[in-house]
Amino acid sequence: MKILFLSNMYPPHVIGGYEALCEEAADGLEKRGHQVTVLTSTYGYQDEIVEGNIYRLLSLEGDLQFYRMKDAWKYPSRKKQNLVHLRRLISTEKPDVVFIWGMWNLSRSLAWEAERLMGSRVVYYLANPWPIEANIHQAFWDAPATTFVKRLAKRLMRIPIRVILRKEWEKVPLNFEHAPSCSAAQRDQLLKAGVPLQDAPVIYEGIDLRNYLIQAAKRTYDNRDDILSLVFVGILAEHKGVHTTIEALNQLSAEERQRVRLTILGKGHSQYEQRLWTLVSECQLSDVVTFHAPIPRSELPEFLGRFDALLLPSIWAEPLARVMQEGLASGMVVVGSSNGGTAETISHGENGLLFEAGDAAGLAAQIKRLMNNPSLRQDLAKNGRRTAEERFDINKMVSEIETYLKDVDDKARAV
């Protein structure tokens, strides 16, 4: 098959696991003999660039962290040029299937145009809730201003901005005829919000398990130094709930604090990072909490092998956290919020532990359970590793995607 991937971002410049997974799916399909082309944004690059079968041509709607007024003025021309790139690539490559991944920070009109040109040959892989998220312009202009000057500026500019971006305030009527999701939690969230998913099976995300299972095999679970080592890995952002981990440690007794260490690996918005540093200082946890800069993904298996438990304190309902899969495969105990794909994967007390999102006391209670019960840690970790092996193998994911795309292509040819 000839498959055209459409994604807002593509490695090496990404903001999360969705984009990395897109590359792995593309590589996996290409290795199986399919002709793969990728259309993505220039994120991480100064100009448009073509690298083999990867076309980095699209312009994102705006900066990822700070909204800039000029992005609103540039929106019409960016949208027009993005549509030109999509039409041209469909015309020249003549794909059998257009495979749409993350679309946040790109106009929905791209997906609409793909459906217009390709009909039933458009497939979505939904691994975050972008179909129900506000675009960055709407999110900024509809949000309340924090100062008098900003309120005045927004009041004066809102009408002309709405005229310029009127199409973006309207819902683009996408069909989602073929729309597998990364988890039942993600699918159900979109259906509940009114997204008209038609054929929507669950195809679980996968990872290359090999290096993680090697780390799992090295574990002894004896914990001779009597220190419970915890780690958070991910973007440092409010919705990830990193502050909950610090608040939970603050609820431990002085003696318990001596028996636990937390490493926070990642980076994020500078204001939120400052909030975390301040919280650690105020809670007098500088000897307990360590901040670690991001590392290359190739180093992650060995890094995770140093820790007993992975914390997933997300406030928002994670569709299916990639790092959860990696933690399970590494032989770690996963302690996560009881929402989204985490609750779908983790059976409390069997292959991990759960707590209510944002509940620092609840998280503290689960940390204490692990501190005081080494045999529980071992049982949870081994069962978690088995879950990863059975459910989250990248080859299984690619096989299921390949079968699904082939079925879409076959049905389209039969019409």
Give the pLDDT score at 16.
Answer: 81
For the chain, how many structural domains are there in total?
A: 2
Q: Looking at the structure, do residues 135 and 52 belong to the same domain, yes or no?
A: yes
Same domain, 119 and 168: yes
pLDDT of amino acid 61: 86
68 and 191 inside one domain: yes
Looking only at the bridges linking them, the beta strands covering 353-355 and 333-337 are: parallel
Rounded to whole angstroms, the Cα distance separating 226 from 148 reads: 54
Residue 353 has pLDDT above 60, yes or no: yes
HSE at residue 38, side-chain half, CA atoms within 13 A, is 26
251 and 368 in a single domain? The answer is yes
CA dihedral 332, 297, 184, 189 (to 10 degrees): 120
In the beta sheet, which residues pair with residue 265? Answer: 233, 292
Asked whether the whole model's pTM tops 0.85, one would answer yes
Range(s) of the domain holding residue 190: 2-206+394-414
Q: How far apart are CA 227 and CA 223, in angstroms?
A: 7
pLDDT digits (tens, 9 = 90+) for 201-218: 999 999 999 999 999 999
Q: Mean pLDDT, to the nearest integer, of 372-399? A: 96
Residue 224 has pLDDT above 60, yes or no: no
Per-residue pLDDT band for 97 (boundaries 50, 70, 90) equals: very high
Return d(Cα 249, Cα 313) in angstroms, integer: 13
Same structural domain, 216 and 121: no
* Same-domain check for residues 151 and 241: no
Which residues, 6 or more positions from 249, have their beta carbon under 8 angstroms from its beta carbon? 257, 260, 262, 283, 285, 288, 289, 364, 367
- Work out the number of other CB atoms within 10 angstroms of the CB of residue 204: 20
In this structure, the answer to whether residues 68 and 123 fall within a common structural domain is yes
List the CATH number of the domain containing 120.
3.40.50.2000
Q: What is the pLDDT of residues 323-335, one digit of tens each?
A: 999 999 999 999 9
Tell me which of 103-112, 160-169, 368-377 is least confident.
160-169
Residue 104 has pLDDT above 80, yes or no: yes
Q: 53 and 202 share a domain?
A: yes
Residues 358 and 410 placed together within one structural domain of the fold: no
> Which pLDDT belongs to residue 60?
93
Question: 255 and 354, same structural domain?
Answer: yes
Give me the pLDDT at residue 415, please.
82
pLDDT of amino acid 350:
98
- 18, 163: one domain: yes
Range 280-287, long-range pairs (CB < 8 A, 24+ positions)? 280/246, 283/246, 283/247, 283/249, 283/250, 285/246, 285/249, 285/250, 285/257, 287/257
DSSP summary character for residue 308: S
25-66 pLDDT, tens per residue?
Answer: 999 999 999 999 999 999 999 899 999 999 999 999 877 766
Same domain flag for 214 and 190 = no
